[in-house]
Amino acid sequence: MASGFPSTVAALAAGLERGDFSSVELTEHYLARIRALNPELNCYITVCEDGARAQARAADERRAMGEAGVLTGIPYANKDIFCTAGVRTSCGSRMLDNFVPPYTATAVERLHEAGMVMLGKANMDEFAMGSSNETSFYGPARNPWRPDCVPGGSSGGSAAAVAARLAPAATGTDTGGSIRQPASFCGVSGLKPTYGRVSRWGMIAFASSLDQGGPMALTAEDLALLLGAMSGFDSRDSTSVDCVPEDFSRLLGAPLAGLKLGLPKEFLDGRLAPELGATLEEARRVYESLGAECREISLPNSGLAIPAYYIVASAECSSNLSRYDGVRFGHRCDQPADLLDLYTRSRAEGFGAEVKRRILVGTYALSAGYYEAYYGKAQKLRRLIQRDFQAAFGEVDAILGPTSPSVAFGLGQKTDDPVSMYLADIYTTAVNLAGLPGLSIPAGFVDGLPVGMQLIGNYFDEARLLGIAHRFQQATDWHRRVPALADKV
């Protein structure tokens, strides 16, 4: 940056440790950039200037007392799906526009215990339902590389904020690709951890068996630092896995000689734009030059991932969103005639079109007479998809493929075609159905827009995935590219 501040979390942490700048100075730098660029990009729903300054001062005091950790004093953007005590948590919706939680999500608590500074709450698709950030009640976030294009979804505000250098890192959530797809569209790195790796307590639920929080940043090295702080067992979350704490940075320098990477033949079909296929082929050559062996594999049931995902996710969202009834919290209609009127008008006014569509689909799939035909069958397909991945990991160490079938599309281009929008997640949903870790890193550009590459690993193999991604980033510079709009400030 022209200001002299580095961009990555690792470089900022080193600068803070050397005393090149303070957390207060760094935080003011990002707040100034947010004031300059957020009106155009709409990355943030809420900016927490006073709170960020207070956290930055506390971080500098910790450092002065010799109590700082590697992330102490690093600013970040928090996706507005994570509850934050005393700060509005809207989930991108009208329904929760006035919701101020009395508690903080575990993943956010852990980042704050590490000394990170929350700049604000990032824009997102309403209740995380969307692939473009266009369903947000607060209007769409915009892609910093081309503001007339979408940043992806649902974690679009987080991805756009990192890409535009309005935060060096951000939290995101991934139910069917909602970290990886916007990371691809915005040219940043994003990690969806193994299901259960990061606590879901305090993270507003969309589809409980699929949702997983994770970090977004510029590099795999940064993701490793952030995951180390976010992850860990949480007794308040019944789906949290009790794993031994680990250093996710430990394999960043590991050589790739002997590594076996699988390329699913089902991912390289007519659905992938040819120019993106060429980018993936170039990434393959880079990995082979680093000593990895790339081979074709098959995931025969991957074509069933989209229909299975949209039945499972819609069914679970129907159940989770039933709590928003206008009684206890959230939007309430004016002057209801009776209890039924309160329920129906509060929900009709509070939910947007895409959320209503998924509630209706999910409710139908769970209804008497249709449960086994739809939800039950989708769960059986889910198991077949999971078995395909396990068979593949008997042959290879990790899977390489595209993140999205296209680069970022124009605002409004797909809003009237939900099926086309759903297909934007065609390469990502299977990972959530299987509960595996996956990440997206920048791998090139097409027509001036970033292209992401996806790496998928076996359960709890995040450290190796991050090491594989890091070696690619050492050999390429796609992750160092800066949008022209962001470089003006």
Q: What is the pLDDT along the chain (489 residues), one digit of tens a residue?
A: 446 799 999 999 999 999 999 999 999 999 999 999 999 999 999 999 999 999 999 999 999 999 999 999 999 999 999 999 999 999 999 999 999 999 999 999 999 999 999 999 999 999 999 999 999 999 999 999 999 999 999 999 999 999 999 999 999 999 999 999 999 999 999 999 999 999 999 999 999 999 999 999 999 999 999 999 999 999 999 999 998 889 999 999 999 999 999 999 999 877 899 999 999 999 999 999 999 999 999 999 999 999 999 999 999 999 999 999 999 889 999 999 999 999 999 999 999 999 999 999 999 999 988 999 999 999 999 999 999 999 999 999 999 999 999 999 999 999 888 888 988 899 999 999 999 999 999 999 999 999 999 999 999 999 999 999 999 999 999 999 999 999 888
Residue 450 resides in a domain: no
Q: Which is the catalytic residue, given 93, 178, 184, 318?
A: 178
Euclidean distance between the first and the last CA atom of the chain, given in angstroms as a whole number: 9
What is residue 3's predicted lDDT score, i.e. its pLDDT?
60
Q: What CATH number has the domain bearing residue 206?
A: 3.90.1300.10
Q: What is the pLDDT of residue 2?
A: 42
Q: Which of 131, 154, 249, 404 is catalytic?
A: 154
List, in order, residues 6 or more apart from 312 with CB less than 8 Å away: 207, 209, 210, 375, 378, 379, 382, 433
Give which of 483, 475, 334, 441 is closest to 1, Cα–Cα.
483
79 is catalytic: yes
Is the residue at 208 inside a domain?
yes
Judge whether 118 lies within some domain. yes
| Catalytic annotation present for 208 | no
Catalytic (active site) residue 121: no
pTM (predicted TM-score): 0.96
**Cβ–Cβ < 8 Å for 42, 139:** yes
The answer to whether residue 115 is domain-embedded is: yes
The reply to whether 272 falls in a domain is: no
pLDDT at site 419: 86
On whether residue 268 sits in a domain, the answer given is no
Q: Which domain holds residue 160?
A: 9-257+476-487
Is 178 contained in some domain?
Answer: yes
Q: Is residue 333 part of a domain?
A: no
Question: One of 22, 79, 121, 240 is an active-site residue; which one?
Answer: 79
Domains: count for the chain: 1
